Amino acid sequence: MKRIIATLALTTALIAPGLALARPVTLTVNLSQYGGQGAYLALYVTDPSGAYAGSLWMAGGKSKYYKHLSDWAKFTGGDVSQVDGITGASVGAGRNLELTMDLADALFDAGYTLHVDAAVEDMRDSPNEIAMPLTSEGAGQPVRGRRYIADLTYTF
């Protein structure tokens, strides 16, 4: 279990400037037993038009490997400053990652999509591992990843 309180560290536009307009959201990512080294995960959000809106978390400390999170890398041009202060360790097979952060109310039920890109050494790159709309109904509903993520859940 890895619990990260990211509230104070977050500086991106996704974080509400005042707590009145935000709610604490807990993201739980459970990895499957894929039988490899620790997975790099990029969690980020796109807006209703499909454009990159901002990053929530980067699991994995070495930016030279970020190119394998290829959708995130394309959206950001590999710009490491996008994940300044919101970077943690890679997540081992079968382990989980739990993040708590204050997210703006405006992100929910407004067509925003939460994406996860995943990559593991010597195994396939999995951009678009998960793409799930951010909605109030979706809270508490686990979503399966394509290759490495057993399930991802967000709860208020």
Partner 1 sequence: MIRLFHRWPALLATVLLLVLAVSGTILSVFPAVERTTAPAPVAGQTVADLAGKVIAAYPGVEQIRRAPSGKITAYWFDGNTPGAAVIDPATGLATGNADPSALQGWLTDLHRALFLQDLGRWITAAAALALLVVALTGAALIAQRQGGWSLWFSRMRGPTAGRWHGELARVAVVSLVLSSGTALWMTAATFELLPVDEASPALPAETSGLVGLAPGDMSALAAVPVTALRDLTFPYAGDTTDVFTLTTTAGMGYVDQGTGTLLAWQASGPWTRAGEWIYLMHTGEGAALWGLILGLLTLSIPALAITGIQVWLKGRKARLSLPGMVHAEHAETILLVASESGSTLGFARALGLALQEVGGSVHLAPLAAYAPDRYAAAKQVLVLAATWGNGDAPVAARGLDARLAATPPHPRAKMAILGFGDRSFPAFCAFAERLDHAARQAGWSMLLPLERIDRQSAQAFARWSRDLGQVIGYPLDILHQPEMPRSTPLRLVSRQDYGEALQAPTAILTFALPQVSLRDRLAGRGFSRFHAGDLLGILPVGSAIPRFYSLASGTADGFVEIVVKKQSGGLCSGQLMDLEPGQMVRAFIKPNPGFRPDRSKAPLLLIGAGTGIGPLAGFIRANRGKRPIHLWFGARHPQADFLYADALEGWSSQGHLASLNTAFSRTAARQHVQDRLRTDADRVRHLVGQGARIMVCGGRDMATGVRETLAEILAPLGLCPDQLRAGGRYAEDTY
Residues making contact with partner 1 (CB under 8 A): 35-38, 61-64, 67, 70, 73-74, 77-78, 89, 122-126, 128, 146-147
Judged by beta carbon, residue 37 or residue 155, the one nearer partner 1 is 37
Judged by beta carbon, residue 75 or residue 108, the one nearer partner 1 is 75
Judged by beta carbon, residue 93 or residue 139, the one nearer partner 1 is 93
Residue 140 Cβ vs partner 1, minimum distance, rounded to whole Å = 22
- The set of residues, in sequence order, having a beta carbon less than 8 Å from that of 44 and lying 6+ positions away, is 52, 53, 54, 55, 56, 72, 75, 114, 115, 117
Residue 78 Cβ vs partner 1, minimum distance, rounded to whole Å = 6
Judged by beta carbon, residue 23 or residue 124, the one nearer partner 1 is 124
Residue 89 Cβ vs partner 1, minimum distance, rounded to whole Å = 7
What is each CA distance from 57 to 14, 20, 35, 137, in whole angstroms?
12, 23, 23, 23
126 with 119: CB under 8 angstroms? yes
State both tokens at 153.
């859940």
* β-strands 87-88, 52-59 pairing: parallel
Judged by beta carbon, residue 34 or residue 154, the one nearer partner 1 is 34
47 with 75: CB under 8 angstroms? no
Residue 108 Cβ vs partner 1, minimum distance, rounded to whole Å = 26
Residue 74 Cβ vs partner 1, minimum distance, rounded to whole Å = 6
What is each CA distance from 29 to 22, 39, 98, in whole angstroms?
22, 12, 6
